[in-house]
Structure 1
Amino acid sequence: MLTIHFPEHNFRIKKEKNRHSIFDEVRRRWVALTPEEWVRQNFLQYLMQVKKYPASLISVEKIIKVGELAKRYDIVVYNKNNPWLIVECKESNTVIDAKVIEQVMRYNMALAISYFVITNGNKSFCYAITGHSFYELSDLPGLYF
């Protein structure tokens, strides 16, 4: 399991018509502030502030084709113009189990990534993918160019 301390960040949050929104600095737009979005926004800040991954190499909530199905990933970090690391965010009370890993591995069929992270904000796990297997890492990999 990764030890992650989310950095302090002054999130921009607003309330309109009994609905809270948060400004996503990567997408540069307001999005609904759901429990999963809170985890995603904190993890984005961790990637940018702590791991120093440039925002320009991060993609958030894009649609990909997995077979005939259209799926939406949470976060993908690119390296040398290729998808390199995917992050699957769940709300804090979601158990991280084999079902979540299977979800990410399905996304990998379309993206061919090298690493994946699964987080619910309380627990986070990072894995390296080699062929058809994967193994757990104790930290996120450093970004190389």
Structure 2
Amino acid sequence: MIADRFAFLSKEMNFPGMEFKIKEANGQLIIFDSLRKKYLVLTPEEWVRQHMIAFLVQFKNYPKTLFSLEKGLQYNKLLKRSDILVLNRNGNPFLLIECKAPDIVLSSKTLEQVCVYNKSIQAPHLGITNGLNHLFFSFDEQSSNYLQIPDVPKFM
């Protein structure tokens, strides 16, 4: 049943109220991605990704034109895809975010995943989210480590 497969839609996300274009097509729910200008299959992870994108654009003033979604990268001969990469105004990586489904607990393994992706991307800020919890980190030059920060990094 469609209702059972989309129970994640009834979970209260930890974002301000936002509206999305969702419709049914061929027995699936699809959501309009305002950045890619097309409908995508609505999975739990896509639900979180669309919330995070809308939050960054609508509430944190991140420019839509500087997002790169599901960017392919290679790590140890494996092809991977990052969820959200935001570039700075010079076109360099600024913020890399890994999105998980709401029922996935954020853990050190989740953070490790985004750090592995960042070895080739080299963003100074990282984030992980499951839509309920959001953790952000910034590179600290003194310690050469990523340190947790209280909120989304301010876009400059």
Common fold by TM > 0.5: yes
Aligned to 1:62, what secondary structure does the other structure show? strand
Note the C-alpha offset of 1:65.
Answer: 1.5
Note the C-alpha offset of 1:130.
Answer: 3.2
Q: Please say if 1:88 is aligned against 2:98.
A: yes
Give the RMSD, CA atoms, in angstroms. 1.4
Aligned to 2:57, what secondary structure does the other structure show? helix
Where structure 2 has 5 or more consecutive residues not aligned to the other structure, the ranges are: 1-12
Q: Please say if 1:39 is aligned against 2:48.
A: yes
How many residues align? The count is: 141
Q: Residues 21-78 of structure 1: CA distance to partner in whole angstroms, max 9, x if unpaired?
A: 0010111111110011111101111000110001001111121122311100110010
User: Is this contact kept in 2: 1:92–1:120, CA < 8 A?
Assistant: yes
Match of 2:155 in 1: 143
Report the AA paired with residue 86 of structure 1: L
Higher relative contact order (CA 8 A, sep 6+): 1
Match of 1:65 in 2: 74
Q: Residues 58-104 of structure 1: CA distance to partner in whole angstroms, max 9, x if unpaired?
A: 11112112231110011001002101101110011101111111111
Match of 1:107 in 2: 117
Q: 1:7 aligns with which of 12, 16, 20?
A: 16
Larger Rg: 2
- Per the normalisation by structure 2, the TM-score is 0.85
- Per the normalisation by structure 1, the TM-score is 0.91
Note the C-alpha offset of 1:5.
Answer: 5.0
1-side partners of 2:62 and 2:14: how far apart? Answer: 16
User: Is this contact kept in 1: 2:14–2:132, CA < 8 A?
Assistant: no
